Structure 1
Amino acid sequence: MKHVLLLALALAACQEEVAQNTDPLPLNPETVGHFCQMNLLEHEGPKGQVHLEGLPGTPLFFSQVSDTVAYLRLPEQSHPILAIWVADMGAPGATWADPGADNWIDARTASYVVGAAIEGGMGAPEVVPFADPAAAEAFAARHGGNIMGLDAIPDSAVLAPVTETAEGDGDYGRRLEALSDRAGG
């Protein structure tokens, strides 16, 4: 009996763990952004998704690729990152208004246009991913910007505050400063 129990324990310890599926999931009407909690299909521009260890089938989706990159650089992450996918803006049929629901590429191998004169889904500057470097070059020729890999994207391109405010609210900065003054004493 003792040998049977030891054999059962040994077999249980030797079982292979099933690998977590990190294939990209298509966007659908229920897909919401991790930061904004808004439906991604209602926003223009490329999107991103991040698969985390221990959260199978439920990647974090982002309404902008710049938000995806910012998430990767935040120290508050609770789970190891297994896969990062971004929408290929050079895919057939991809447009800014409709970037596609399932044209995902590995974020680590994409070519990004950084600093282009174009806004992402939340109205902030966007980094624009392409599977084909030639497509990135053509986009940069039309919209400006520099082409680089994921690790070369500067923090200032994804973590800096947006200076323009919604609806051109020129009074926003003054009101924010007044609130900061009150909070500080």
Structure 2
Amino acid sequence: MRYLLVALMLLAACKEEVVQDTTALPLTEEAVGHYCQMNLLEHEGPKAQAHLGGLPGAPLFFSQVRDVVAYTRMPEQSHDILAVWVNDMSATGATWDAPGASNWITAEDAFYVVGGRALGGMGAPELVPFSKRDDAVKFAAVNGGDVMQLSQIPDSAVLAPVALDGDTTDDDFDNRLRALSRNSEG
């Protein structure tokens, strides 16, 4: 019994903790949006990626920064979120049409323009990330919105329903839910 205990202690001492690499990966032709499953390079606006525990080398990519923030706030996620990266719109050469393939900053370090007129790759209002606060302020002056850090972004900016161009629904989300409830009751 004593030898078994010593052997277990030695095995435990020899166990190396392997740290998962969460370095941002460049956008390539193979990168598709987690929700839409569309090629990210075909859409304008900044993109994002989330690295999940237990899934090394295979981050989830997002067509819009708004989508990754929503993803991080949903309680039903099955894996720990280890790192989130967003395109740095302050980077040299970053444009709305081509935000960059490898100009990533951590989501926590970015300054976001929230609530402006900019629409992301899937047509929803976008959270536009910058590494430089002054660049975010300039963008907001032209496009509207407020400059915030990640922890300041309200859930309503990422989790609320969005009416997209061409949406012919003349009721808002709550009215449609009420109508569905009335139909199921009677």
- How would you bin the TM-score normalised by the shorter chain? 0.7 to 0.9
1:84-129 Cα shifts (integer Å, max 9, x gaps) = 1000011111110110011000101110000111100100000000
1:142 is aligned to 142
Query: Aligned pair 1:162/2:162, yes or no?
Result: yes
What amino acid does structure 1 have at the position aligned with 2:138?
A: A
1:150-174 Cα shifts (integer Å, max 9, x gaps) = 0100111111111234xx242x346
CA distance in 2, matches of 1:103, 1:8: 48
2:76 is aligned to 76
CA distance in 2, matches of 1:10, 1:96: 56
What amino acid does structure 1 have at the position aligned with 2:52?
A: L
1:13 is aligned to 12
Q: Mark the CA change 1:105 to 1:160 in structure 2 (over 3 Å): closer, same or farther.
A: same
What amino acid does structure 1 have at the position aligned with 2:111?
A: S
What amino acid does structure 2 have at the position aligned with 1:12?
A: L
Q: Which runs of 5+ in 1 are unaligned?
A: none
1:64 is aligned to 64
The 5 Å alignment of 1:71-150 reads: 71-150=71-150
Q: Which runs of 5+ in 2 are unaligned?
A: none
Q: Helix, strand or coil: the match of 1:108?
A: helix
CA distance in 2, matches of 1:89, 1:144: 16
C-alpha RMSD over aligned residues: 2.3
Q: Helix, strand or coil: the match of 2:86?
A: strand
Matched length:
180
Q: Deviation of residue 74 (structure 1)?
A: 0.3
> TM-score, length-normalised on structure 2?
0.88
Q: Mark the CA change 1:84 to 1:10 in structure 2 (over 3 Å): closer, same or farther.
A: same
1:22-70 Cα shifts (integer Å, max 9, x gaps) = 0001111111111111111111101111111111111111100000100
Percent identity, aligned pairs only? 61
Divergent runs of 4+, >6 A: none
Q: Mark the CA change 1:12 to 1:127 in structure 2 (over 3 Å): closer, same or farther.
A: same
